[in-house]
Amino acid sequence: MTVNTRAVYAPLLALAAVGGLLASFLGVPATWVLLWVCLLLPLLGLVARWSPVRSGAAAASLGVAAVALWPLPLMWEAASWLEACGAAAFWALPALGALAAGGYLRRQASRMRQAVRDGRRDQQLELARDLHDFVAHDVSAIVVQAQAARFVADKDPEQAVRALERIEAAGLGALASMDRTVHALREAAGARSASVPGTSELPGLVERFEGGVLEADPAAVRGLSREADTTAYRVAVEALTNVRRHAPGAGLVRVRLHRAAGGIELSVANSAPARGAGGLRGLGLRRRSGTGLAGLRARVEAAGGTLRAGASPDGGWRVCAVFPAQEQPLG
């Protein structure tokens, strides 16, 4: 139920209560007034459940008064003052019961929300403690191993190499701990936790693209850092999207990931679209190069790479990103 819908209940109840009281004192038949009272009761419950406190309290007071006082015009001549008070108290009971039911549901919902907030806070605190314990342990190990490697590097290079291997293992462990903690924190905050896509998902991406061909060197995939891996996937997604948008008639789109002289190269090249097929001569990123290409280039450069885009000799378009190859594990 939206906030705008909830805000309607209080003024609706106030309007119905005032209109009903006027109808009762103006001599409207008792059957119609009784039907109006029966409609007011669920409206009282809705106000108690959903309306803001101030407007809800004012509207609820009018509603209870309207339900309690509706029989009084029928009793002016035949009933005493005490009987009129008894009738008003009797009819006030269902109105108060409707308010109590709505208030109970409101309180239960509030307690549930508070319990969820408390649970999330406790989980976040526990995750923060785990992050400190595990990451601090790994970082301390890195510092100790780095100090040891510095002292033995000149006398025993083999020991220094083993120390570097332990530093690498501790660093990878710290990164894994932080990843798990960040994902858990996102889940605790109500966000969907999902792994960031990388080049491992390129086969599925290219398979969904009509005319797409993938050539991926496994050694090149292993040579990408985590940031470069996700950025390379994003480059492929953007390039393929722009080919589909601006060169729908391209017969072939080739995605290559391989080792090159400058590092690890990802290229997306499309052939020229068939004559009359529409598109912009395969301009994968040319027409919107002002913002899209600039943003993509900034992302690639942030990962330590370079990005080039331009027309190919066959009349198509080629996007090429080159990332530095990370050093292979020692040993």
Strand-strand pairing, 253-260 and 306-311: unpaired
For position 176, what pLDDT does the model report? 67
User: 268: pLDDT confidence band, cut at 50, 70 and 90?
Assistant: very high
At 243-255, the pLDDT tens digits run 877 777 777 889 9
Residue 106: per-residue pLDDT? 92
Residue 184 — very low, low, confident or very high, per pLDDT cuts 50/70/90?
A: low
Selected residue with higher pLDDT from 314 and 180:
314
Q: What is the pLDDT of residue 4?
A: 57
0.85 surpassed by pTM: no
pLDDT at site 187: 65
Percent of the chain surpassing pLDDT 90: 21
Res 275: pLDDT: 57
Task: Judge contact between 164 and 153, C-beta under 8 A.
Answer: no
Q: How far apart, in whole angstroms, are the C-alpha atoms of residue 76 and residue 92?
A: 18
| Amino acid in the structure at residue 217 | D
Read off the pLDDT of residues 232-242 as tens digits, 9 standing for 90 and up: 998 998 888 88
Mean pLDDT, the chain, integer: 80
pLDDT digits (tens, 9 = 90+) for 56-108: 899 999 899 989 888 888 777 677 888 888 888 998 999 999 999 999 999 99
